[in-house]
Amino acid sequence: MSEEAIERRSADQSAEDPSAEAQALIAFLERIEDLAVSTGNGTQQMNIEALQELVASKPEQAASACRHLVGRARARTGTWHAFAQLAVVIAALYDLVFDDDTLTEWVETDLDTAGITVRQPEVIPPERESEPQDKEPIPFSVPFDRVEAGDVYPFLVAFSHRAQGMGPERLAELKELRGRFAVTFEVSDSDAREVWEVPEIRSYAEQLCDQMPYLPYYFKPQDSGSLFMWLACLAPISACSEGWLDLDDDDVVTVAVWSMYATRMLAEALGDDPDEVCVAVFAPLPSPFTARITSLVEELPEDFGHGR
């Protein structure tokens, strides 16, 4: 059966009684559409990091999307060249994330056979003045006596979010703090322990997580130190070592899932893009692990976390 026939049959099935696979593909393509921003003259811009995160979290749908897009391009329907170009980009990101060029080779071969030449997309550097990481970072040093007292009040004043009673000005202020937070704990120079090994600091981090599990929203992008300290303090000591975190540990996975979920919820509450936020916040972690966490977060029930 030809690819065109397969595509027609898939379209007919989707129109009558879409299968779970067809529904997943439709949802995947809709998420890609949400990432695209029209710039006029028939062109679009897309956040490549967010698209890479999407591909990493949905590899099967990424492969299905490539087959679908190549089929549309071969049929010369609609903006077929854009379909071909998007298929090439998705396949390249798949190769980058999973170190597997099978999809890239298939897309390139199929397009070449169809006589379709794809113009490589133009990479436009982001406007630096609008990027959160260009804003002045906010150092937040916590004295050890405050740690011992379990006093998290300064954090609550600076970063706490409560849905009720929050005016638009306060919400805008919190959004402005995104990506600017760098926390340090003051410990004695004579203490040879790592920060995440100190019981008082671990307890303090647990209190922060109870009050503000979304705190990673404020972490400085690409800052592995803040994210590592956060996860290491909340995970069992046995899962941590200097500069290393056991990503196969169930408790580490649980902490990461809860942190990403809470971060996404805050981003949505502040009118921010949760996908873009999580790409930045969790960038220091390996892509396969982030993809796993993202997938687990997406599987959580809608009422997960209510009342916490």
Nearest to 201 by CA among 230, 222, 164: 230
- In the chain, the amino acid numbered 69 is L
Q: What is the pLDDT of residue 162?
A: 62
Q: How many CB atoms lie within 10 A of CB 165?
A: 6
Residue 84 has pLDDT above 70, yes or no: yes
Q: What is the rounded average pLDDT of the residues 9-23?
A: 60
Residue 307 has pLDDT above 60, yes or no: no
H-state helical runs in 99-143: 102-113
Instruction: Give yes or no for a contact between 262 and 213, defined as CB atoms under 8 angstroms apart.
Output: yes
CA distance 217 to 221: 9
Q: What is the pLDDT of residue 141?
A: 85
Q: What is the pLDDT of residue 240?
A: 84
Transcribe 237-277 into DSSP letters: GGGEETTEE-TT-HHHHHHHHHHHHHHHHHHHHTT--HHHH
Higher-confidence position of 121 and 45:
45
Higher-confidence position of 48 and 223:
48
β-pairing verdict for 181-185 and 36-40 = unpaired
Q: What is the pLDDT of residue 120?
A: 58
Q: What is the rounded average pLDDT of the residues 128-149?
A: 72
At 115, the pLDDT band (50, 70, 90 cuts) reads confident
Mean pLDDT of the chain, nearest integer: 81
Asked which of 21-25, 155-159, 165-169, 258-262 is least confident by mean pLDDT, the reply is 165-169
Q: Which phi and psi angles does 43 have, rounded to 5°? A: -110, 160
Domain ranges, ordered by start, for the chain: 3-113, 128-298
Residue 41 has pLDDT above 70, yes or no: no
Which are the contacts of 80, defined by CB distance < 8 A and separation ≥ 6? 72, 73, 74
Query: For residue 75, what is the DSSP state?
Result: T
Q: What is the pLDDT of residue 252?
A: 93
Which are the contacts of 250, defined by CB distance < 8 A and separation ≥ 6? none
At 194, the pLDDT band (50, 70, 90 cuts) reads confident
Q: How many CB atoms lie within 10 A of CB 123?
A: 6
Which are the contacts of 69, defined by CB distance < 8 A and separation ≥ 6? 83, 84, 86, 87, 90
At 293, the pLDDT band (50, 70, 90 cuts) reads very high
Q: What is the rounded average pLDDT of the residues 212-226?
A: 82
Nearest to 121 by CA among 87, 74, 80: 87
Residue 284 has pLDDT above 60, yes or no: yes
Q: How many CB atoms lie within 10 A of CB 47?
A: 17
Q: What is the pLDDT of residue 122?
A: 54
Most confident of 167-171, 175-179, 249-253: 249-253
Provide, rounded to the nearest whole percent, the portion of the chain with pLDDT above 70: 80
Q: What residues does 46 pair with on adjacent strands?
A: 36
The angle at the Cα of 206, spanning 190 to 248, to the nearest 5 degrees, equals 90
